[in-house]
Amino acid sequence: MKPITRAAIGLLLMLLGLSARAADHSTTLVCAGAKVYPSPTAPPIDNAVLIVGEGRIVTVAPRNAAKYYDLPGSALKLDCVGKVVVAGFWNSHVHFTSGWDGAATAPAAKLQTQMQEMLTRWGFTTVWDLGSTPEDTMALRRRVDAGEIQGPKILMAGDIFPKGGHPVYLPAEMKLPQAATPQEAGQMAKGYMAMGLDGIKLFTGAYMGDKPVINMDTAIVKAAVDVAHAQGKPVFAHPQNRVGMENALNGGVDILAHTIPEWGFAFTTADLAQMKRQHTALIPTLTLWTTVVPDTQIQDQLVQAGVSELKAYFSEGGTVLFGTDVGFITKYDTSQEFEFMGRAMGWGDVLASLTTNPSAYFKAPTKGRVEKGMDADLVILDADPATDVRNLAKVAYTIRGGKVIYQK
């Protein structure tokens, strides 16, 4: 394409301040005047120009150095002056459970509203569902991928519970896949892989209320892990206590889906060394601990314990993945999770847990950074997270593949 004239450049810059039109009317998007963080470790680009075309980033550069080209009249021009641009967020622990039943036939407008309230208004462009009714979530994923519903990319993990391990917080009438032997676990894992799921989640510890936790034997863990790893798929674990965590690690799981809510729990030097050796990732879900008991003092104790676990793990170089357990909990606002995580790590490290860490861990090399040629999964913020990590929750626009899927 030929460079446009000086007059046309001036016209373009004037138009950049106009309000956005509907995203699905355009395949080209322009954002000018924002501060851009290309990655959590790269220096920011002030007063930048960002141009997106066909779902990819075409240009990201300082405004005075950017090369402008002819843009179609349908180009979407966002008002980005004074805003901050980062890569699209991953939430590596969500649930499409309550309110998502019948997703194949439910009105798109209803699902769209739920999706916005739960995920897209908080900047999420990719999510891991770690437990739901597969038929409903697969139908929801198809409708999102078809553009019928604006939402994030949905990755799915199939659940396996230990025999007799029906957690007290799940409805008693709910039928849960429970494995009593390694052979049963292996068959369940193969079934999930045949369904087209993207991973497995193992309840290596099931909370039984006043009764003892039921843990999953290491041999059962390993059987499911072997099936998933043979197809290059990750395995998440939900441990409830030390035994469940040790069985998960010894069985070779990839990600701990929570910090450990056991009284007095702390990672030992040996735990941290094993996690580092096996490249086991951790999802903190610290806000979850404010919802599990009504006593605010106990909530504070659980949160502080989780923060301590996170700090010890992060200090040893562990890979932290952001996740909230949203869908199981109804605290959609991510501000509190950012504040809790900020007690254990810097704002850039929190941003990495949302962007570069999951993109690298889950082998998505075209996501996680705001650079030329990368997928145009972007979050435009109203305020700079470098001044307050909670600003990561102040989302003005969420963009997936160059399409605005949320606008404040």
User: What residue segments make up the domains of the chain, in order of their start?
Assistant: 6-87+368-407, 89-361
pLDDT of the residue at 19: 36
Q: Is the pLDDT of residue 76 over 90?
A: no
pLDDT of the residue at 261: 87
pLDDT, mean of residues 119-148: 97
Q: At what angle do helices 182-195 and 134-145 cross, to 10 degrees?
A: 30
Q: What is the DSSP pairing of strand 124-129 with strand 214-215?
A: unpaired
pLDDT in tens, 166-199: 999 999 998 999 999 999 999 999 999 999 999 9
pLDDT, mean of residues 261-281: 94
Q: What is the DSSP pairing of strand 153-162 with strand 199-202?
A: parallel
* The model's pTM: 0.91
Q: Select from 3.10.129.10, 3.40.1190.20, 3.20.20.10, 2.30.40.10 the CATH code of 6-87+368-407.
A: 2.30.40.10
Tokens of 321: 């993945």
pLDDT of the residue at 263: 76
Q: What is the DSSP pairing of strand 235-237 with strand 378-381?
A: unpaired
Q: Which residues contact 10 (CB under 8 A, 6 or more apart)?
A: none
Q: What percent of the chain has pLDDT over 90?
A: 86
pLDDT of the residue at 210: 93
**In degrees rounded to 5, what are phi and psi of residue 212?**
-65, 150
pLDDT of the residue at 241: 95
Q: How far is CA 305 from CA 273, 287, 298, in A?
A: 20, 12, 10
Does domain 89-361 fall under CATH 3.40.228.10? My reply is: no
Per-residue pLDDT band for 75 (boundaries 50, 70, 90) equals: confident
Tokens of 336: 């509190």
Q: Is the pLDDT of residue 104 over 90?
A: yes
Q: Is the pLDDT of residue 89 over 70?
A: yes
Average pLDDT, the chain: 91
Q: Which residues contact 392 (CB under 8 A, 6 or more apart)?
A: 86, 89, 123, 334, 338, 347, 350, 351, 354, 381, 385
Q: Is the pLDDT of residue 17 over 70?
A: no
pLDDT in tens, 344-361: 999 999 999 999 999 999
